[in-house]
Amino acid sequence: MTEGNFVDYVKVHLASGNGGKGSVHLHREKYITKGGPDGGDGGRGGHVIVRGNKNLWTLINFKFKKHFKAGHGEHGSKNRSTGADGADVYMDVPLGTVVRDTETNEVIFEITADKEEKIILEGGKGGRGNWHFKSPTNQTPRYAQPGIPGQETQVTLELKVLADVGLVGFPNAGKSTLLSVMTSAKPKIADYEFTTLKPNLGIVKYRDFRSFVMADIPGIIEGAAEGKGLGHYFLRHIERNATLLFLIPADSNDISKEYEILLDELRRYNPELLDKERLVAISKSDMLDEELMTEMKAELDNDLKGTSYLFISSVAQQGIQELKDRLWTLLNE
């Protein structure tokens, strides 16, 4: 999937259908010139329904179609005939989609299961026909209820990527390169910061035909929790990952400090993110000789305080199989 086709944030305008009017009708047929009331009810207006679809990975369907309007209910008619209900409108969204009220920014609901359906806007009820209002003192009512109008609103759809492993790191840490080596994904790779502007997903093939999903997410910078850089656009995707893989390059000035900054950004955004399983991978380690790697291990054992880490090189294919093994273990403990 190309970067331009990955749409994870969109605003849409919704309108449900009006309810049909109840009928005002008096029964007439041969030999019955003054029958009683028999006006039928109006049909309900169509609902706007959000439905989960496991085959979708992006909100691109809403990139060019942003207005959804359900059908109106038909009016009632004679012989107590109820009008037809308005046609419902279904909006298929990928799993992990959060629906918010655009005006208040409140979460209305989330879609996390395939074929899960939630009514976001109910259609108006149909009005009752005049036969409902007959009584001993009013045997020929000549009035009926109008249908209830439909509703209109604007909502925001946010996609939080559903992946087993999420790559966390500063810009230009080598996340896209690692994803391209471990999966068949072809993310954009270049030697400048913020090459990745949208999440990339790839399926990691493991032993015995097993697999798991890895997400390369736009790079984080200090202050992202307050919205700097890509800010919340990056951080919301982390919430859906089961395991976090922190990627820090071996040529970093201070690996443990970088790791602490990343952890702090996650903590400030949502403290629950620190409850996830995590692993630190020191990338670009093909630049290190044995002596330097031994020194770094001694420092990391002291600084990372028990957090698991390993040295890898995406370009030289070093430590990739061990990384897969460690991630699989974390995912299935």
> pLDDT by residue (tens digit) across 38-89?
999 999 999 999 999 988 878 888 988 999 999 999 999 988 899 999 999 9
**Known binder of ligand: residue 246?**
no
196 is in an annotated binding site: yes
pTM exceeding the 0.85 threshold for the entire prediction:
no
Q: Is 315 annotated as a binding residue?
A: yes
The response to whether 197 counts as a known ligand-binding position is yes
CATH placement of domain 1-159: 2.70.210.12
> Is 283 marked as a binding-site residue?
yes
Looking at 7-21, 112-126, 139-153, 269-283, which range is the least confident one?
269-283
Tell me whether residue 134 is annotated as binding: no
Q: Judge whether residue 317 has pLDDT over 50.
A: yes
Q: Does the annotation list 101 as a binding residue?
A: no
219 a known binding residue? yes
Q: Any binding-site annotation on 195? A: yes
Residue 68 counted as an annotated binding residue: no
| Residue 169 assigned to a binding site | yes
**3-state helix/strand/coil string of the chain:** CCHHHCCCEEEEEEECCCCCCCCCCECCECCECCCCECCCCCCCCCCEEEEECCCCCCCHHHCCCCEEECCCCCCCECCCECCCCCCCEEEEECCCEEEEECCCCCEEEEECCCCCEEEEECCCCCCCCHHHHCECCECCCCCCCCCCCCCEEEEEEEECCCCCEEEECCCCCCHHHHHHHHCCCCCCCCCCCCCCCCCEEEEEECHHHCEEEEEECCCCCCCHHHCCCCHHHHHHHHCCCCEEEEEEECCCCCHHHHHHHHHHHHHHHCHHHHHCEEEEEEECHHHCCHHHHHHHHHHHHHHCCCCCEEECECCCCECHHHHHHHHHHHHHC
Residue 66 assigned as binding residue? no
Is 216 annotated as contributing to ligand binding?
yes
Q: Which of 3.30.70.3290, 2.130.10.10, 1.10.3720.10, 3.40.50.300 is the CATH number of 165-332?
A: 3.40.50.300
The answer to the question of whether 229 is labelled as a binding residue is no
The residues spanned by each domain of the chain are 1-159, 165-332
Task: Please check if 38 is assigned to a binding site.
Answer: no
Is 81 annotated in some ligand binding site? no
User: What's the pLDDT at 205?
Assistant: 83
Tell me: is residue 176 an annotated ligand-binding position: yes
Write the pLDDT tens digit of every residue in 88-120: 999 999 888 999 999 998 999 999 899 999 999
User: Is 218 annotated among the ligand-binding residues?
Assistant: yes
Contact 146, 44 (CB under 8 A): no
Q: Each residue of 218-276: pLDDT tens digit? A: 656 554 444 444 445 556 667 777 888 888 888 888 888 888 888 887 888 778 888 88
Residue 326 clears pLDDT 80, i.e. is over it:
yes
